[in-house]
């Protein structure tokens, strides 16, 4: 028997999430494992439930969809995030590509489009539901998805990935400590572990690794 794909819904519109649940419920190979109404709740739910697919809204209170996407994928790099948004103008698209999404669906489209997207990403394919007459957006999404993450990144804990991202983004040890409300000594300990696990010799090496794996942007 086929193992069902575990799906997490993240959207602040609960009626819409119920519609998504109703759409996907008849399919035995799709299993809704949770719902979250904010980006922060979504990241926590992803860490706890470990879904295979995440359907994520962009316009939410709190940190919003883009940061939620980054948070989910930093915590669960193998999760296939599909953006499900009312925005059809491509805002944040480059950031979302770099974060690691697999698909984008507009809420104004028929529910069947969402189902098509879920089935596509289950097969390991990207899905572009925004206007794309020349195919450039689809090509860019495929290119971003073809960049493999280092296996060593998966060895890092969520906290270590967070610290890696901040250090690679230019923050000092002191700045990271203040941002995460931990001591500089703790940051130094994490930094040493990160360097060891990634076999990196310097901060410059960490920046290259973070760029390659989409943890930071140029």
**Pair (55, 107) in one structural domain:** yes
CA Rg, the chain, in Å? 18
Q: What is the CATH number of the domain that holds 192?
A: 1.10.10.10
Give the ranges where the chain is alpha helix by DSSP (H).
Answer: 14-24, 39-49, 64-75, 93-99, 111-122, 136-146, 158-168, 173-180, 184-198, 203-212
Per the structure, the count of domains in the chain is: 2
Judge if 116 and 155 occupy the same domain.
no
Q: Which of 100, 131, 146 is the last residue of a domain?
A: 146
Token pair for 76: 């669960």
**Domain region containing 199:** 151-212
Shared domain check, 137 and 37: yes
Domain boundary residue among 130, 146, 162? 146
Tens of pLDDT, residue by residue, the chain (218 residues): 568 999 999 999 888 889 999 999 999 999 999 999 999 999 999 999 999 999 999 888 788 888 899 889 888 888 999 999 988 887 788 888 888 899 999 999 998 999 999 999 999 999 999 988 889 999 988 888 776 555 567 678 878 888 998 999 999 999 999 999 999 999 999 999 999 988 888 888 888 888 877 677 65
Residue 218 located in a structural domain: no
Task: Tell me the C-alpha distance between 169 and 210, whole Å.
Answer: 9
């Amino acid at each position: 028997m086929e193992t069902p794909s575990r799906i997490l819904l993240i959207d602040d519109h609960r009626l819409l999430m119920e519609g998504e649940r109703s759409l996907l419920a008849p399919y035995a190979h799709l299993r809704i494992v949770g719902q979250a109404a904010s980006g922060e709740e979504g990241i926590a739910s992803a860490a706890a439930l470990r879904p295979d697919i995440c359907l994520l809204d962009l316009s939410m209170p709190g940190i919003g969809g883009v940061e939620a996407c980054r948070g989910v994928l930093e915590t669960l790099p193998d999760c296939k995030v599909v953006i499900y948004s009312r925005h059809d103008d491509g805002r944040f698209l480059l950031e979302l590509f770099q974060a690691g999404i697999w698909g984008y669906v507009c809420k104004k489209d028929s529910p069947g489009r969402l189902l098509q997207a879920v089935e596509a990403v289950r097969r390991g394919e990207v899905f572009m539901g925004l206007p794309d007459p020349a195919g450039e957006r689809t090509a860019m999404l495929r290119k971003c998805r073809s960049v493999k993450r280092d296996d060593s990144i998966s060895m890092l804990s969520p906290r270590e990935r967070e610290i890696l991202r901040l250090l690679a983004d230019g923050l000092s040890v002191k700045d990271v400590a203040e941002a995460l409300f931990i001591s500089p000594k703790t940051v130094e300990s994490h930094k040493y572990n990160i360097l060891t696990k990634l076999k990196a010799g310097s901060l410059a090496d960490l920046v290259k690794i973070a760029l390659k794996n989409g943890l930071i942007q140029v």
